[in-house]
Structure 1
Amino acid sequence: MEYKKIEEPLLYDGSQIQPFWAFKEFKVKGSSILAWHGPMEIEAEKIIDYEDIGLEIKSSEMVHFIIEHFDIQPADIRTCYHRQRLFVTIVKDVLGELGIGTNREGDDLYFEGNKLSVSIATCSNSSMKIHFGMNITNKGTPIDVDTIGLLECKKDLDNSQINELTNKISQNYINEIESIEEDITKTKVF
C-alpha cells in the first residue's frame, strides 16, 4: 500500500469516496491511504449512508483519511467494513498512546461522550473505499450533535503532533494490512 500525505488543505465534500480518486487527482496507483487536513461539508446528493440522509455532515477542520483497496475482485463490502473497523481501532490505540482515551461505537470514536469522528465504507466494482475524518476542533460542526476536536481533547496538542499522529495512524494501518498478507502466505490451508 502506498501512503501520501497531502500538504495543502482540501475540502472533503464526498467526491473523494469515488473509485480511483487518488489516481485521478494525485497519480497514486493501486491500494493506498491518503491523508490531509481540511474542512468537511458533504452535499445532500453525495451522502451515501442512508441513515445520514437529511443530516448536516460538516466541520471546519478535520484530519481526513481516504483508503482504497484493489486486492479483492470483485470488491467486497463486508471485508471493507471489517477493514474500516480495524482502522478505527488503530486510531483509538494511537490516540490512547497520546493520553486521549476514546470509546468506540461501531465506526465512530467518542471522547467523554462527544463525537470525535465520522466514517463511511463503500465499494465500487473495482475497489473498496473508506473515509475517516477526525475533528481537529469542534468548530463548524452541526449544532444538534455533541462534538469535540483533538485540540479540545488534549489542550497542549499542536499541528506538528497532529501531523505525526496522522503519519503514525497511516503507517500502523499499512503495517497491519501487510502483516495480514504475510500471515496468509505462511499458513497451511486444508
Structure 2
Amino acid sequence: MQYLKWKDGNEYDGSQINPSWAFQEFGVKDSTIVSWVGPMNILGDNLIDCEDVGVDIKGNLMLNFIVEHFDEQPGNLKLAYHRQRMLVMITRDKLLDYGIRTTQDGDDIFIDNKKLSVSIATASISTMKMHFALNITTEGTPDDVETSALEDNNMSMEQIHELQDSIANTYMEHIETINKDITKTRVF
C-alpha cells in the first residue's frame, strides 16, 4: 500500500471515489491512501450514500483521505466499512495526541456533539474505496448541521499536516500487520 499526497487546494467533488482514481491521477498500480487539504463540494451525480440525496455535503477546508484497496475481487462492501471504522478509530486516537476529545457514532466523529467528519465507503467489481474528511474550518459547511473543526481546537496547519501523515502511516501499518498476521497463522 502506498501513501500519496495530492496537491493541497484540490477540491473533493465525489468523483475521486471512482475505482482506480489514484491510478488515473498518479499512475500508481497499488492500493493507496491519498490525502490533501482542500474544499469539499460533492455534486449530485457523485453522491454514494442514499441517505444524502438532496443534502449539501460541503466545506471550505477539509483534511481529505481517499483509501483504495485491490486485495479482494469483487470488492467487499462489508470489509470496506470495517476498514472505514478502523480509519475513524485511528483518527480519534491521533486527535487525543493533540488533546482533542471526541465521540463516535458509526463512521462519524463529533466534538461536543458537533460533527467533525464525513465519510463513505463503497465497493466495485475490482476495488473497495473510502472517502474520509475532517473539517478544518466550519466555514462553508451546511447550515442545517452543527459542525466542529480542527481550527476551533487550536490546531495549526503544521499540526494538521502532522496529523495527516500520522493517520495515513498508522492506517498502512495496521493493514500491513494484519496481512503479516494472516501469513503467520496456521489455519485448519
For the criterion TM > 0.5, the same-fold answer is yes
Q: Which moved more, 1:125-134 or 1:23-32?
A: 23-32
Compute the TM-score of the two structures, normalised by the length of structure 2: 0.98
Distance 2:108 2:11 in 1: 20
Which among 165, 170, 175 is matched to residue 167 of structure 1? 165
Aligned AA (2:168)? S
Aligned to 2:28: 28
Cα drift, residue 73 of structure 1: 1.4
SS of aligned partner of 2:122 = strand
Letter in 2 for 1:140: G
Amino acid at match of 2:118: V
Q: Which residue of 2 aligns with 1:10?
A: 10
Q: Which moved more, 1:99-108 or 1:6-15?
A: 6-15
CA distance in 1, matches of 2:45, 2:179: 36
Q: State the partner residue of 1:139.
A: 139
Partner SS state of residue 90, structure 1: helix
SS at match of 2:139: coil
Structure 2 SS opposite 1:145: coil
Q: Distance in 2 between matches of 1:41 and 1:73?
A: 30
SS of the aligned residue for 2:30 comes to coil
Q: Residue by residue, what CA displacement relative to the aligned partner does 1:43-101 show, whole Å, maximum 9, x if unpaired?
A: 11211100111101000000000000000111110101000001110001100111111
The separation in 1 between residues aligned to 2:145 and 2:91, in whole angstroms, is 21
Task: State the Cα distance separating 1:7 from its structure 2 match.
Answer: 3.0
Deviation at 1:21, TM superposition (A): 0.4
Offset of 1:8 from its aligned partner? 3.1
Distance 2:102 2:176 in 1: 26
The whole-number CA distance in structure 1 between the counterparts of 2:113 and 2:94 is 19
Determine if the alignment matches structure 1 residue 120 to structure 2 residue 124: no
**d(CA) in 2 for partners of 1:6, 1:47:** 21
Distance (Å, rounded) in 2 between the aligned partners of 1:8 and 1:58: 16
Q: Distance in 2 between matches of 1:8 and 1:108?
A: 23
How many correspondences in the alignment?
188
Q: Deviations over 1:127-157 (max 9, x none)?
A: 00000011001000000000011011x22x2
Q: Secondary structure at the residue paired with 2:63?
A: strand
Consecutive aligned runs of 4 or more in structure 1 exceeding 4 Å deviation: none
For structure 1, which segment, 3-12 or 165-174, has the greater mean C-alpha deviation from structure 2 after superposition?
Answer: 3-12
RMSD of Structure 2 on Structure 1 (CA): 0.7
Tell me what 2:92 maps to: 92
SS of the residue 2:68 aligns to: strand
**CA displacement at 1:19 relative to structure 2:** 0.4
Q: TM-score, normalised by structure 1?
A: 0.97
SS, match of residue 119 in structure 2? strand
Corresponding residue number in structure 2 for 1:72: 72
